[in-house]
């Protein structure tokens, strides 16, 4: 079953892509999928890295993230680039699925094979992002999309997490929201690569832009671009995409978390094997708790570090 999906994926089958994304989003067979999406028989994770431009759009609820992303698709497609959208929606407490379905606020393009839109459920407390987002990005890169747009739920400080996963972080603000202090508290102005005053056709857009520029000047003296954009009128949309496309790409740490966990697990296994041979009861108990799932790998690593630190002191 999985091998059939992978073979269809390698033939650029969008239905296979959708099925594999669903598996990865649930955390099922992730390693097998990532190892199999490259050339058949490669035997290793052959997902291309850094080939797509990955852009996150963040901001508070109601600022128009979905609408803006829908509009951004137009200049991207005009340049003959393919684009995938991952819209992180609040998770339903009943079904566990995406609550709002932000894709419905983006234009439907059933006949355009260069556009793919997927809603993802973001559990509360997960930094405004869906779980396994790193692996979902890698899967879309392997499929060959030129641009990947990510919409966060819009949860204030949690949105800063996404900066580690993308090349460009776009922050949306809007006039007359009373959120002035929240911009500074959340730290979003400090991490944004591009700042957009959205709904700029509304009164107060100039004032908000002036406030943002003043805050940036008082802080790091950042040269972060600040643009006024209106999705309703279309003003500023082409300029926004040009600005995003011109930003230098960061070195994304897509695999850092997974690789670190794998390294930690290997370290644990090696150290526990030595402890077993030496008859160290404390580490044997820790090993048993880890293997039985009573503690996480992170907890086991912390306990092992404390144990090794005590050994060094003695």
End-to-end distance of the chain based on CA atoms, in angstroms? 54
Tokens (6 digits) for 115: 């556009």
Per residue in 45-84, pLDDT (tens digit) is 444 444 789 999 988 878 899 999 999 999 999 999 999 9
Tokens (6 digits) for 146: 């030129």
Q: What's the pLDDT score for residue 60?
A: 81
Query: How many Cβ atoms from other residues are within 10 Å of residue 91's Cβ?
Result: 20
Per residue in 204-262, pLDDT (tens digit) is 999 989 888 888 877 655 688 999 999 999 999 999 999 999 988 765 544 444 444 55
| Global confidence as pTM | 0.73
Tell me the C-alpha to C-alpha distance, in Å, between residue 157 and each of 21, 153, 162, 275.
Answer: 27, 11, 10, 42
Of residues 8 and 123, which shows the higher confidence score?
8
Of residues 33 and 303, which shows the higher confidence score?
33
What are the residues whose beta carbons fall under 8 Å from the beta carbon of 90, sequence distance 6 or more? 98, 99, 100, 121, 122, 124, 153
Strand order in the sheet with 168-173: 115-122, 83-90, 147-151, 53-59, 168-173, 194-197, 226-228
Q: How far is CA 276 from the centre of its chain?
A: 40
Per residue in 118-176, pLDDT (tens digit) is 988 765 444 456 667 888 998 999 999 999 999 987 655 555 667 778 889 999 998 87
Q: What's the pLDDT score for residue 181?
A: 46
- Look at residue 21 and tell me whether its pLDDT is greater than 80: yes
Which residues partner with 196 through β-bridges? Answer: 172, 227
Which residues partner with 151 through β-bridges? Answer: 57, 87
What are the residues whose beta carbons fall under 8 Å from the beta carbon of 113, sequence distance 6 or more? 14, 82
Lowest model confidence (mean pLDDT) among 59-63, 87-91, 106-110, 256-260: 256-260
Q: What's the pLDDT score for residue 46?
A: 44
What are the residues whose beta carbons fall under 8 Å from the beta carbon of 248, sequence distance 6 or more? none
Q: What's the pLDDT score for residue 100?
A: 47
Tokens (6 digits) for 288: 């048993």
């Amino acid at each position: 079953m999985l091998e059939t999906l992978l073979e269809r994926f390698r033939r650029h089958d969008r239905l296979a892509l959708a099925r594999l994304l669903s598996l990865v989003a649930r955390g099922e067979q992730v390693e097998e999928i990532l190892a199999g999406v490259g050339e058949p028989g490669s035997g290793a994770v052959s997902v291309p890295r850094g080939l797509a431009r990955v852009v996150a759009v963040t901001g508070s609820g109601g600022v128009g993230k979905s609408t803006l992303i829908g509009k951004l698709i137009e200049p991207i497609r005009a340049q003959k680039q393919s684009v995938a959208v991952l819209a992180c929606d609040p998770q339903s407490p009943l079904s566990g699925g995406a609550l709002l379905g932000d894709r419905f606020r983006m234009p439907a393009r059933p006949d355009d094979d260069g556009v793919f839109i997927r809603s993802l459920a973001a559990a509360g407390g997960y930094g405004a992002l869906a779980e396994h987002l790193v692996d979902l990005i890698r899967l879309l890169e392997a499929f060959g999309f030129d641009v990947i747009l990510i919409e966060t739920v819009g949860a204030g400080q949690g949105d800063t997490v996404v900066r580690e996963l993308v090349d460009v972080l776009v922050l949306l603000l809007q006039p007359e929201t009373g959120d002035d202090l929240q911009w500074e508290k959340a730290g979003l102005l400090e991490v944004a690569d591009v700042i957009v005053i959205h709904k700029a056709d509304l009164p107060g857009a100039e004032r908000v832009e002036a406030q943002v520029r003043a805050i940036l000047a008082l802080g790091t003296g950042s040269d972060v671009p600040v643009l006024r954009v209106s999705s309703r009128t279309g003003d500023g949309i082409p300029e926004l995409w040009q600005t995003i496309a011109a930003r230098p790409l960061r070195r994304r740490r897509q695999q850092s978390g997974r690789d670190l966990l794998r390294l930690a697990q290997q370290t644990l296994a090696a150290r526990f094997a030595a402890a077993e041979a030496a008859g160290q009861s404390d580490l044997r108990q820790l090993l048993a708790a880890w293997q039985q799932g009573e503690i996480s790998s992170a907890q086991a690593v912390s306990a092992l570090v404390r144990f090794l630190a005590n050994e060094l002191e003695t």
